[in-house]
Amino acid sequence: MNGSAVSRTVDALLREGRRLFDAGLAADARDLLGRAHAMAPEHETCARWLADAQLTDGALDEASDTLAAALGRAPASPELVVLQSEVALRRGALGAAEAILDAAIATSGTSATLLARRGYVHLLAGNYRAASELVERSLTLDPHNSAAHSTLILAASYDPSMTTARLKQRQRRWIGPQTPAPVPTFDIADSATARPLRRH
């Protein structure tokens, strides 16, 4: 297969793999995305989607290997780092997730994605005030970051100092009074029972 044929095949596998993943068929998506990744191991989106499917399908070791290789090529990718932290959380290693995110933020502290994720991990650790502070930093960079809004709302439900009026005031600061806050959604994390976890 020549280069353009490979590219078309990879794109087709990616589209179908993502469709299957969005339909809740993680195992089937994992198979197609794995084929695409084998053909184009340098393709960051392919690696990210494959790792996501592997995580969802419970293949933590495979996801870890996929992410390690992808991060070797793109160490500054916030999306890959977030997935790497999720592998640690799925293994019950809160301390490892914290270390992964802290190291990435030290290198790229201006990433709204990383700050929102670190706030979320603070939330899981029971550090609700720290979670709110980091999420606010994230929202100053990206006022429409849905993960940050979700974490802020969840943190508010656990932080007794965060009244409903205060939460709405903070949200208006970033999204304006006429724009409704995004509905809270929680992706692959659903380690998001938001119960404090132990560090490992």
Q: Domain 1-74 belongs to what topology?
A: 1.25.40
Residues of the chain with CATH 1.25.40.10: 1-74, 75-200
Band of the pLDDT at 183, cuts 50, 70, 90?
Answer: very low
Average pLDDT value for the chain: 83
Model confidence pLDDT, tens digit, residues 71-120: 999 998 999 999 999 999 999 999 999 999 999 999 886 799 999 999 99
Reduce the secondary structure of the chain to three states and give it as a string: CCHHHHHHHHHHHHHHHHHHHHCCCHHHHHHHHHHHHHHCCCCHHHHHHHHHHHHHCCCHHHHHHHHHHHHHHCCCCHHHHHHHHHHHHHCCCHHHHHHHHHHHHHHCCCCHHHHHHHHHHHHHCCCHHHHHHHHHHHHHHCCCCHHHHHHHHHHHHHCCCCCHHHHHHHHHHHHCCCCCCCCCCCCCCCCCCCCCCCCC
| Structure tokens given for 163 | 């009244």
Band of the pLDDT at 190, cuts 50, 70, 90?
Answer: very low
- Average pLDDT rounded to a whole number, residues 175-183: 42
pTM: 0.79
Model confidence pLDDT, tens digit, residues 19-70: 999 999 999 999 999 999 999 999 999 999 999 999 999 999 999 999 999 9
What is the structure's pLDDT at 173?
A: 57
Q: In the CATH scheme, what is the homologous superfamily, with its name and number, of domain 75-200?
A: Tetratricopeptide repeat domain (1.25.40.10)
What is the structure's pLDDT at 12?
A: 94
Does residue 158 surpass a pLDDT of 60? yes
Does residue 164 surpass a pLDDT of 60? no
C-alpha 69/C-alpha 65 separation (Å) is: 6
